Structure 1
Amino acid sequence: MAQKTSPEQPIPVRTVLQMVAGWIGKLGTIWVDGEIAELTARGGTVFMTLRDPVANVSARVTCPRGVYEATVPRPVDGARVVVHVKPDFWVNRGSFAFTALEIKPVGVGEMLARLERLRQLLAAEGLFATDRKRRLPFLPGTVGLICGRDSAAERDVLENSRRRWPAVRFKVEEVAVQGPYAVGEVTEALARLDADREVEVIVVARGGGSFEDLLPFSDESLVRAVASCRTPVVSAIGHEQDSPLLDLAADVRASTPTDAAKKVVPDVGEQLTLVRQLRDRGRRMVKGWLDRELAWLSSVRSRPSLADPVREIERRAEQVDQFRDRVRRSLGGSLDRAEDSLGHLRARLVALSPAATLERGYAIVQRPEGEVVRRAADVSVGDALTIRFTDARVTARADGHGPDEEP
């Protein structure tokens, strides 16, 4: 428990250091991952610095020579190792160090296994999903470039980009691209370029190297920083066969820095050729359309109705005259036949008419109410009768019956 102190009741330095040593001693033994640096041997002890593979953090390690020599293969400067250590705090000097109890080199296979587990974790979170990747702008106004200092990757990107489009502009961030400072510097440069509104695309470029040299570009913090960028990111790390996790998180992967320049900046020559081809295609399409329309217009103009409009009117007038004559003949024939039929009907009517009988000398005897008297027996003496002749009527009265005489 913390002791209460005051200006009147301070505690000695030795007491404070002893308390610190007690707290550190409670950690016991632990396994620590890191890179070896500043390896020296004096007498029966080997002194080294164990450096964090990502952050700029390191700690001193003392190792008995027997433990060091028992490690196969023996670690060298820059080797990645896992060390079983006991944290110690030296009260007399007020310094902290690890005492190594066992050293195990970290092989490529184990590193690959760790990277595979990290890859699966990040993929499950959706950081590598295709639907979150953005398309690159056709012609970015300003390109951000993160690369090593005076590196071949920088020259490849700049030279190939300016050869393709001389007016392209770059904002270059030169950082460490390997070693313990690489992850921090690349992440900071990425944040600066992403915050710059003029930068439309960011290229992270590094030339080829060993598997260990490219490990910073598979660091989890850097991969997450790339996935959260507002600006599209192009990864151009190593060569075609290299595939750090940064390639999966970036919006576009380029096999080399030169390939990155080709993907980010269009070739002005190719674009001019494309424009020329499109212009020629447009001209051919317009010319073909005009030729088809002119052919249609010529065909329409060559029609008789347009070539000689008066002739068509005359032809139609002739047809009207023919139709009129045909109608007249048809109507005349119909009238003639109707007249003949009417004459025949009139003749039959005259022949069957009672007037024709009256003209032959006969007469019709009727009662005053119009009833026709057909027999003499139907007439009584004194009946008033009307005698109808062909030209007039005569009123008479019956005065008796006489004998019927044969003609």
Structure 2
Amino acid sequence: MRRLLYLGFAFPPGVASAFPEVIPAGHGFETALITALGRHFEIQSVGLLPTAEADLPPTRDHSPGLPHQLLLVDQAPELFHRWRSARRLRRWYQELVRACWQPDAILVYNLPPVFNDFIRWLHRQPARPATVLLLADSSTLGRRLSFTKRLRYQCKPMIWPDEVMLPFFDACVGLGRDTERFFAPRKTPWLWLPGACDPADAPPWQPPSHVGPIRFGYFGALAGHSGVMELARTFLAANLPATLHVCGYGKLAADLRALAASDPRLKFDGLLPRPTDCLTWAQNLDVLVNPRPAGCGNENNFPSKLFSYALTGRAILTSRLSGTDEVLGEAADYFDPQDFSRALARQLRALAAQPRPGLAERGRALRERIMANYTWSHASVRLAGFIAQTLAAPPSGRHAGRPLPGAVSGT
């Protein structure tokens, strides 16, 4: 069996629920994908955490996670902890190889400074494994950085712009459909893998039992990039004979709670105890809305909550962004994020006027589509095949042990 080293951010098992401010979607994505990938590779993993191992809760719960072989820290003071973590990672890797565990490939989640430093170090070695980037998101790729910002990057230790790091990878797995444009000109192999779901998380499907006005809903991150505040304001301004229900965690929680207190059409339920509780909560709704706007780097990621939305068996309204229409197909409803407020309001009005049974049937069709085509088992098979193709490329295609043309010199 091939060997894979994974570098990511997922917490160890039993502690994720203690950090709701940093968990939401990424932790669940990493945990599910790497666990499923374990059927295809012998895996060792490294976790980069926002807190020291000694500060993790001593009492563990049932939250999922990855049993890392090494835990690193990235917290204030950043320079000290990043330098120390990078040094520990290099030493641990050398010991791993001396113990005759040589990975065939290294899969890296995003482009944090500690992992970037390690990948650059690998490229200075006489030989190295294939390096595969798992690009979940990037707020800077595709954006032109000002001269002053580039200068600040050059002056900061262990900081490299995302675009500078791309040539250091032999292949890329992108969650966002549009990320292919950063790799096609380089002829770097690229795979679109928007995410997946576990059908076992789906509650039994049943049509809505409530009566009265249509109920819209949102669960997920309560942050600026999610568009949830714009959704609430657009919904209330549209003056619909409907209600909007919101739950989640984030910096906008207090603002949404205050807005809900001023208008009974907006219902705010805060943070639910477990992520799977959101699916049960959504059974009392008719349409789930993903209002993710253009910008904020959203073109470079994928709204993974759409897979959870689909498992609820409820109708979905989403912005047409990052390939959402390719995943959900014709059963979902879409609005143009480039004309956010007007397009969203128009679709909300149309859905509020539709019969509830028709919405329920479309929700069931979405659920069946996702459960048939987007499971973690399917995703791991695709990713394992992609990594195998990368390994089959001639070593010269991986610049084995040689500096990359045009690579930034330095650390």
Q: TM-score range by the shorter chain?
A: 0.3 to 0.5
Q: Between the two structures, name the one with larger relative contact order (CA 8 Å, sep ≥ 6).
A: 2
Please identify which structure carries the higher strand content: 1
